[in-house]
Amino acid sequence: MRLIFEKSSPGRRGVSLPELDVPFSAVLDEKYCRKEPACLPEVSELDAVRHFSNLSRMNFSVDTNFYPLGSCTMKYNPKFTEAAAAMDEFSSLHPLLPQLLGGGMLAQGALEVLYNTEHLLCEITGMDAFSTQPLAGAHGELTGVMLVSAYHKDKGRKRKYVIVPDSSHGTNPASASIAGYDVVVVPTGKDGFMDMERYKQVLSEDVAAVMLTCPDTLGFFNPGIKEITDLAHKAGALMYYDGANLNAVLGKCRPADMGFDIMHINLHKTFATPHGGGGPGSGPVGVRGELADFLPISRVVRRDDGTFALDYSRRKTIGYIAPFYGNFGVILKAYAYMLALGKDGLIQVSENAVLSANYCLARLKEHYLPAYAKERCMHECVLSASAQLGKGVHALDIAKYLIDKGFHPPTIYFPLIVKEAMMVEPTETESKEMLDTFIEAMIEASKLAGADPDALHSAPVSMPVKRLDETAAARQPDLRWQAKSK
């Protein structure tokens, strides 16, 4: 497909502006004005409409295709949440309203949504307080590690290290590092869980926090989780829960009961808000006990008369981390989702998500090596294409083949500790028929690896672009269209 710049024709316009009927005055100093025209595409309205309509039809999304991208939890976003967010009463509110004198009374509904969402998240996770302000999961993580730092500082402790397992999401060590901590990585043992001997060795009075997901990135629930959190607490360290895998345990167990002190939730991974290509996202951060004193301002409070307001007077707060109160529209969608599904619905979400992943694991484990010899997984299963490797077929080739079959590929080459990893997370909304079609395509790919590996090497063949040269794209990135010099 040609770029819109390449469809440009000199002088063609999408709109006709009326003649200037006021005196012309130059508002900008000449030094701020460009000497050459900006070289914008010159197209008609119809050209622009067709261009972007056709681009949108090339999009691969949960709304068009099965999208089992492990660790990313590509949940279907039910459309009623869009309707809630589009309500004029919410979408037309001015974000500064609650800060203006008397303005808070004109935004009670929105403040109540924030307050109630925080309290529902507390109920689901067992935490004592939540802030919905962080603007994405990684932002929530950084906020969480800043809370760790503020807590230890308040206690007069100097601590240097944050422990993460080698199966962790890359954002865990990144957040800890950006917040100023040195990261200590603990390897995964033969059983697929964090190596406890090594963990005990590195745990000391210098450790500020231990960051974990549970179920972990390999899709397993660690039965020793309580021992891990108890040991950390004995050393005076805090336990941080990466909520990326919360979709597996809704209503089944709570991070606070496992012994976690701080956590974040990716609303898009668990509460069906859009998984933005860079945003807007939402990564609420939750804490237990006295850690609530350090949460970012402002806090939404319920006053004695039942009205809601923003409270900025928190002595120990880490301060401001986001403009306004987070991505309100996203929080609103998550709130609508929680209310519509209710307690029983949310429990069923997790049950179905785990059932779907186990169904995939059970049917695929004869064709692809499971990452670890376990009968059951949680919400995602990690398989390896290492058996296909001998025939010259990599996980990448299988992923590309699946595109031709109409599926978004699963996550590949993650977790890093699994050779030729393929991480399948079907989520709770897919039917058995859809799972079967996907599984058949995976089995077919495995058979082709033996019979006709070149068929896999050349995939995809049905897409607007064929196999991309990812190495050249990374080594010599061509990121920007440039006009040919005249």
Partner 1 sequence: MNVPEDLLYTKDHEWARIEGDNAVIGITDFAQDSLGDITFIDLPKQGAELKQSEWCATVESVKAASDVYAPLSGQVVKVNSELAEHPELVNKSAYDKGWFAVIKISDMSQKGKLMSPAQYKEYTEGLSK
Other beta carbons within 10 angstroms of residue 234's beta carbon come to 9
Tell me which residue has tokens 């009205």. Answer: 307
CB of 462 to partner 1, least distance (A): 23
Nearer to partner 1, 43 or 412 (CB): 412
- The span from the CA of 405 to the CA of 418, in Å, is 25
Does 372 interact with partner 1 (rule: CB under 8 A)? no
Does 60 interact with partner 1 (rule: CB under 8 A)? no
Of residues 214-243, which lie at the interface with partner 1 (CB under 8 A)? none
Tell me which residue has tokens 């998984």. Answer: 275
Q: Which residues contact 181 (CB under 8 A, 6 or more apart)?
A: 145, 149, 159, 160, 161, 162, 208, 209
Choice from 2, 475, 480, 484 touching partner 1 (CB under 8 A): 475
Does 414 interact with partner 1 (rule: CB under 8 A)? yes
CB of 123 to partner 1, least distance (A): 38
Which of 337, 362, 363, 356 lies closest to 430 in space, CA to CA? Answer: 356
CB of 356 to partner 1, least distance (A): 27
Does 190 interact with partner 1 (rule: CB under 8 A)? no
| 304 residue type, one letter | D
Nearer to partner 1, 170 or 279 (CB): 170
CB of 28 to partner 1, least distance (A): 40
Residue 149 vs residues 176, 178, 262, 318: alpha-carbon distances, Å: 10, 12, 12, 9
Choice from 15, 474, 479, 483 touching partner 1 (CB under 8 A): 474
Contact predicate 204/170, CB 8 Å? no
Of residues 156-185, which lie at the interface with partner 1 (CB under 8 A)? 170
CB of 411 to partner 1, least distance (A): 12
Q: Please identify, among the stretches 30-38, 277-285, 446-454, 466-474, the one whose residues bind partner 1 according to the rule CB under 8 A.
A: 466-474
Taking residues 416 to 435 in sequence order and writing x for each that binds partner 1 by CB under 8 A, - otherwise, the string is: x--x----------------
Contact predicate 74/429, CB 8 Å? no
HSE, CB side, 13 Å, CA atoms: give it for residue 228. Answer: 29
Does 197 interact with partner 1 (rule: CB under 8 A)? no
Check whether the bond before 215 is cis (ω within 30° of 0). Answer: yes
Tell me the Cα Rg of the chain.
26
Does 471 interact with partner 1 (rule: CB under 8 A)? yes
The site for partner 1 (CB under 8 A) is made up of: 170, 412-414, 416, 419, 470-471, 474-475
